[in-house]
Amino acid sequence: MIDLLLSRRDTPTKQAILEFVAAVTTENGPDYVPPSERIAAFDNDGTLWCEHPVPVQVMAMLDGLTQAVQQNPDLGEQPLYRAAVEKNMAWFAPYMSNERIPELIGMMLEAGAGETQSEFEARTSAWLKQARHPRFGTPYTQVIYRPMVELLDFLRDNDFRVFIVSGGGMDFVRLFAEEIYGVPRQNVIGSNMKLSWEYRDGAPVLVRQAGLVDPFNDGPGKSINIQLHVGRPPILVGGNSNGDVPMMEFAAASGKRHLNLLLHHDDADREYETEHSAEQALKTAEERDWTIISMKEDFDVMFPA
């Protein structure tokens, strides 16, 4: 087996990954899993790319609300729009927990209701090209964890089907997943805005509607949506927060050898050091002997050069 995990230090965590993949791909071995059942599911925010100090899609939505006020100043009288224009993160802070982030995203998506799907994709793609991470000064699509992207490649080389299972908007993640992760659009599972089928100027269009499709893709919703979209439980899961625990439990209940990887943000020098929204996940990982990836100890390289 060729070691493609070049940006990881030779630690027990790396060995756990190599041993797991060797075990499930060795024909006639006791833990062999056929390729059709080799499902890997990864969270996106905080697992594949940097989500601090604010999740990327939230930043995109804040900028979108600000542009809307520039076009229609009357909107600035509404608290949500005013907080976006003023970059008043204190106003948004109560919504940043796993429990209330669906509420925040719901409010923001409601503001974009009536936009066609093609308009959304064009506007958001343009934003991704020009927006820069506030600390690192590079496009958000370059603030991706190189060791994790290498892991996706390594798994695909060993006949895994890799899926992104994100609490973020599915349409948002699909815009860049193939380019930066090699994950095709159809392998992205996320939270969904409601759509309608309409005719504008005689042409059929998909129009974004206020409200989210249930279930929101976080916590138990991740396991439910994996079943709906994939039809099989994963045998390898990568996550970083409390909201990823249910899909790790889904892997553990698969009846097959599985590997759960919990990314711990413990490197303040190269990224961020925080356990926000990960306290229960870290505790559960320790209790159940899941593999905890220390960014500080396990990552030799953090981001692409």
Judge whether 5 lies within some domain. no
The answer to whether the beta carbons of residues 92 and 104 sit under 8 Å apart is: yes
Asked if residue 276 and residue 258 are part of one domain, the reply reads yes
Judge whether 235 lies within some domain. yes
Asked if residue 62 and residue 171 are part of one domain, the reply reads no
Q: What is the DSSP string of the chain?
A: -----TTB-SSHHHHHHHHHHHHHHSTTSTT---GGG-EEEE--BTTTB---SS-HHHHHHHHHHHHHHHH-GGGGGSHHHHHHHTT-HHHHGGG-STTTHHHHHHHHHHHTTT-BHHHHHHHHHHHHHH---TTT-S-GGG-B-HHHHHHHHHHHHTTPEEEEEEEEEHHHHHTTHHHHH---GGGEEEE-EEEEEEEETTEEEEEEEEEEPSSPSSTHHHHHHHHHHTSS--SEEEE-SGGGHHHHHHHHTTSS--EEEEEE-B-TTTS-B--TTTHHHHHHHHHHTPEEEEHHHHBS--S--
Q: How many domains does the chain have?
A: 2
Asked if residue 48 and residue 76 are part of one domain, the reply reads no
Q: DSSP label at 254?
A: T
Judge whether 41 lies within some domain. yes
Whether the pTM exceeds 0.85: the reply is yes
**Can you tell me the distance from the alpha carbon of 69 to that of 109, in angstroms, rounded to the nearest whole number?**
15
Asked if residue 112 and residue 39 are part of one domain, the reply reads no
Asked if residue 67 and residue 193 are part of one domain, the reply reads no
In which domain, by residue range, is 262 found?
12-52+144-298
Asked if residue 168 and residue 39 are part of one domain, the reply reads yes
The answer to whether the beta carbons of residues 113 and 209 sit under 8 Å apart is: yes
Q: Which residues are CB-neighbours of 90 under 8 A, at least 6 positions away?
A: none
Judge whether 136 lies within some domain. no
Asked if residue 228 and residue 93 are part of one domain, the reply reads no
Judge whether 40 lies within some domain. yes
Asked if residue 291 and residue 189 are part of one domain, the reply reads yes
Asked if residue 120 and residue 41 are part of one domain, the reply reads no
pLDDT above 90 covers a percentage of the chain that reads 83
Q: Show the tokens assigned to 190.
A: 């996320």
Task: Read off the CATH number of the domain in which 197 is found.
Answer: 3.40.50.1000
Judge whether 263 lies within some domain. yes
**What is the mean pLDDT, run by run of 10 residues, along the chain of 305 residues?**
84 97 97 98 98 92 90 91 90 80 76 90 96 97 98 98 96 97 98 95 95 93 98 98 97 97 98 95 98 98 94
- Is-cis flag, bond preceding 53, omega within 30? yes
Asked if residue 180 and residue 112 are part of one domain, the reply reads no
Q: Per residue in 142-176, pLDDT tens? A: 999 999 999 999 999 999 999 999 999 999 999 99
Q: Per residue in 94-149, pLDDT tens? A: 887 767 877 877 777 777 889 999 999 999 999 999 999 999 999 999 999 999 99
Q: What is the DSSP string of 93-152?
A: GGG-STTTHHHHHHHHHHHTTT-BHHHHHHHHHHHHHH---TTT-S-GGG-B-HHHHHHH
**Can you tell me the distance from the alpha carbon of 190 to that of 174, in angstroms, rounded to the nearest whole number?**
9
